[in-house]
């Protein structure tokens, strides 16, 4: 086993397009690291550089203690699961899994032992003789994972492996991937644009945007204390509401003339200066009363079953509130929102960075 270390890794494409702008990251041995971000943020490029499928324009990629910049993909001791599975269509499931071992000259009985073992773990023993086209999407996904685990590599790389599956299967496979990774203890790097996958799978969550890392942390840290406005609105569903406000004084901001107390606020902010106030839809108490409150005009309600989403405006900006079903009448037109000072996130309107305690 080995960890993966990235040191100011860059990718510059022809025409001087910088897809990855100097990313540094340490991934501990045996941990599950998820790279998440919108499409075009450079997460897949970064993964492909670790795999050796893209050249590295600058910086260093280390697997364990070995710098692998110039090492062929085959010699990096990694295995990758692709978005479209990339199974060999002309080979049986058995041959698909055995291919990598045969290329490395593994003895025949050892190959058979490992393939059978992987097939057992993934519950695909009965499909070993079939061709990929005879399998369902979920089964192909298992074969792709089987092909990765028979090799017993140092690192697993996953490139949006669940995005071709339907919603139900995706949840099921997500759990299986997590369980498998726990059982095998192999360092895993997983790329996705789905924040639910990112939150549920990762030990270490890396949020990327525009070829750079926005924030690294545990899922709880990233959710509780987003470092930038981008992270705040990207992680969490529905996304965090951002309201324009002004600084009133230490621990107080005002939004549309309504004063709000804030726990996590940087010292020394100039009163009267503009500030962005972030509130998660699930963190405000609709209809409640408290020390700070905001009034909201409701436009319409979305039913989600267990919860309802109230869409409307607060201080002229779009705002969403999540409330348990039945808590409020569906024809509510005006709401008073109680705000807990500990749930208010402040961001600099210029740099978009968090203005919390240092």
Partner 1 sequence: MEKRAHISGWTLPLLLILPQMAITVIFFYWPASQAIWQSFLREDAFGLASEFVGFENYAALFEQPEYYRAMITTAIFSSLVAFFSLACALLLASQADKNIRGGHAFKTLLVWPYAVAPAIAGVLWLFMFHPTLGTLSKPIKATGIDWNPMLNANHAMTLLVLSATWKQISYNFLFFLAGLQAIPKSVIEAAAIDGAGPLRRFWTVIFPLLSPTTFFLLVVNIVYVFFDTFGIIDAVTGGGPAGQTTTLVYKVYADGRLGGDLGGSAAQSVILMIIVIALTAIQFRYVERKVQY
Chain residues 34-53 in contact with partner 1, contact rule CB under 8 A: 51-53
83 interacts with partner 1 by CB under 8 A: yes
**Separation CA 128–CA 92 (nearest Å):** 7
- The site map against partner 1 for 130-149 (x = CB under 8 A) is -x-x-------------x--
Which of 8, 24, 55, 84 binds partner 1 (CB under 8 A)? It is 84
Of 53 and 338, the one with the shorter C-beta distance to partner 1 is 53
Of 133 and 334, the one with the shorter C-beta distance to partner 1 is 133
Bridge-partner residues for 258, per DSSP?
255
Q: Which of 34, 32, 30 is nearest to 3 (CA)?
A: 30
We find the least distance from the C-beta atom of residue 73 to partner 1, in angstroms, to be 5
Long-range pairs for 213-216: beta carbons < 8 A, 24 or more residues apart = 213/23, 213/24, 213/25, 214/37, 216/25
Cβ-contact 339, 243 below 8 angstroms: no
SS3 101: helix
Which of 33, 46, 63, 87 binds partner 1 (CB under 8 A)? It is 87
We find the least distance from the C-beta atom of residue 6 to partner 1, in angstroms, to be 19
114 interacts with partner 1 by CB under 8 A: no
Which of 89, 257, 305, 329 binds partner 1 (CB under 8 A)? It is 89
Which of 10, 60, 82, 307 binds partner 1 (CB under 8 A)? It is 82
Residue 310, φ and ψ in degrees, nearest 5: -95, 120
We find the least distance from the C-beta atom of residue 147 to partner 1, in angstroms, to be 7
Which of 1, 24, 67, 88 binds partner 1 (CB under 8 A)? It is 88
Neighbours of 290 (CB within 10 A): 14
Of 79 and 255, the one with the shorter C-beta distance to partner 1 is 79
Please tell me the number of Cα atoms within 13 Å of 264 on its side-chain side.
Answer: 18
Of 37 and 52, the one with the shorter C-beta distance to partner 1 is 52
Chain residues 294-353 in contact with partner 1, contact rule CB under 8 A: none
Of 137 and 210, the one with the shorter C-beta distance to partner 1 is 137
Of 57 and 200, the one with the shorter C-beta distance to partner 1 is 57
We find the least distance from the C-beta atom of residue 171 to partner 1, in angstroms, to be 24
| Helix (H) or strand (E) segment spanning residue 312 | strand 307-314
Neighbours of 314 (CB within 10 A): 23
We find the least distance from the C-beta atom of residue 234 to partner 1, in angstroms, to be 27
We find the least distance from the C-beta atom of residue 143 to partner 1, in angstroms, to be 11
Residues near 330 by Cβ (< 8 Å), separated by ≥ 6?
A: 301, 308
Let me know the angle formed at the C-alpha of 70 by 68 and 73, rounded to the nearest 5 degrees.
Answer: 70
We find the least distance from the C-beta atom of residue 103 to partner 1, in angstroms, to be 4
Segment interacting with partner 1, rule: CB under 8 A, options 62-70, 84-92, 186-194, 287-295: 84-92
Chain residues 152-211 in contact with partner 1, contact rule CB under 8 A: none
We find the least distance from the C-beta atom of residue 23 to partner 1, in angstroms, to be 21
Q: Is the peptide bond before 238 cis (omega within 30 degrees of 0)?
A: yes
Chain residues 60-79 in contact with partner 1, contact rule CB under 8 A: 72-74, 78-79
Residues near 117 by Cβ (< 8 Å), separated by ≥ 6?
A: 150
Number of residues that bind partner 1 (CB under 8 A): 25
Q: Rounded to whole angstroms, what are the CA distances from 322 to 130, 206, 304?
A: 48, 27, 10
The three state secondary structure string of 225-245 is CCCEHHHHHHCCCCCCEEEEE
**Any alpha helices (H) in the chain, and if so which ranges?**
43-51, 93-103, 108-122, 137-149, 167-184, 195-201, 219-224, 229-234
Of 105 and 329, the one with the shorter C-beta distance to partner 1 is 105
Report the interface residues with partner 1, using CB under 8 A. Answer: 51-53, 72-74, 78-80, 82-84, 86-90, 99-100, 103-104, 131, 133, 147, 151
């Amino acid at each position: 086993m080995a960890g993966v270390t990235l040191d100011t890794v860059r990718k510059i494409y022809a025409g001087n397009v910088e897809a990855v702008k100097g990313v540094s990251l340490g991934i501990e041995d045996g941990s599950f690291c998820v790279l998440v971000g919108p499409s075009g943020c450079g997460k897949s490029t970064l993964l492909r550089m670790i795999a050796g499928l893209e050249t590295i324009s600058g910086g260093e990629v280390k697997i364990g203690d070995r710098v692998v910049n110039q090492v062929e993909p085959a010699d990096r001791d990694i295995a990758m699961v692709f978005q479209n599975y990339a199974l060999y269509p002309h080979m049986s499931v058995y041959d698909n899994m055995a291919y990598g071992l045969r290329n490395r000259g593994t003895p025949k009985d050892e190959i058979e032992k490992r393939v059978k073992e992987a097939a057992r773990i993934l519950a695909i023993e009965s499909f070993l003789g079939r061709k990929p086209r005879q399998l369902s999407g979920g089964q192909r996904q298992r074969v792709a994972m089987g092909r990765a685990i028979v090799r017993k590599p140092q690192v697993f790389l996953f490139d949006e492996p669940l995005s071709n599956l339907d919603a139900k299967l995706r949840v099921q496979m997500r759990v299986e991937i997590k369980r498998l990774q726990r059982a095998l203890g192999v360092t895993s790097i997983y790329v996705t644009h789905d924040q639910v996958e990112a939150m549920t799978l990762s030990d270490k969550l890396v949020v990327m945007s525009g070829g750079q890392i926005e924030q690294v942390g545990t899922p709880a840290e990233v959710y509780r204390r987003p470092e930038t406005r981008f992270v705040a609105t990207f992680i969490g569903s529905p996304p965090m509401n951002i309201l324009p406000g002004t600084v009133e004084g230490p621990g107080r901001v005002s939004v549309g003339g309504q004063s709000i107390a804030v726990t996590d606020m940087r010292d020394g902010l100039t009163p009267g200066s503009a500030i962005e106030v972030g509130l998660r839809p699930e963190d405000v108490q609709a209809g409640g009363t408290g020390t700070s409150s905001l009034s909201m005009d409701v436009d319409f309600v979305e039913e989600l079953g267990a919860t309802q989403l109230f869409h409307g405006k607060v201080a002229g900006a779009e705002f969403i509130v999540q409330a348990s079903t039945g808590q409020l009448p569906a024809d509510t037109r005006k709401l008073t929102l109680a705000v807990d000072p500990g749930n208010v996130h402040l961001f600099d309107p210029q740099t978009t960075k968090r203005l919390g305690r240092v």
